[in-house]
Amino acid sequence: MNAANDSSATTPEPFVPADKAASFVGLRRRFLLALARRGIKGAYPVGGRRRRTWVFLLSELAAAIRSRRA
C-alpha cells in the first residue's frame, strides 16, 4: 500500500517559533527560551553554536510541563 494514498497517514506536527510556543503554554518568551537552554523536552535548537534559534513541538512541550507538575 502506498503511504501517499493511505488515508490513515498523518502529517507530521509542525515546529513553531518561541513566541507561539510561549503563548501556548502561558509563559514569557524569555523564560521559555531559558528552559530550552536547560534542556526542556520539545525544544530544538536550529543554527550555529553562538546564535541559536529555537523551535518547539507543542505536544512534547506540553507533556514535559505536565510531567514536571506531577
Q: How far is CA 32 from the centre of its chain?
A: 10
pLDDT tens digits for 2-39? 555 555 678 999 999 999 999 999 999 999 999 999 99
State pTM to two decimals.
Answer: 0.77
Higher pLDDT, 50 or 64: 64
DSSP H helical ranges for 1-70: 18-25, 29-38, 58-69
**Polymer length of the chain:** 70
Identity of residue 53: T
Domain boundaries, the chain: 16-69
Instruction: Look up residue 48 and give its DSSP letter.
Output: -
CA separation for the pair 7, 47 (Å, rounded):
35
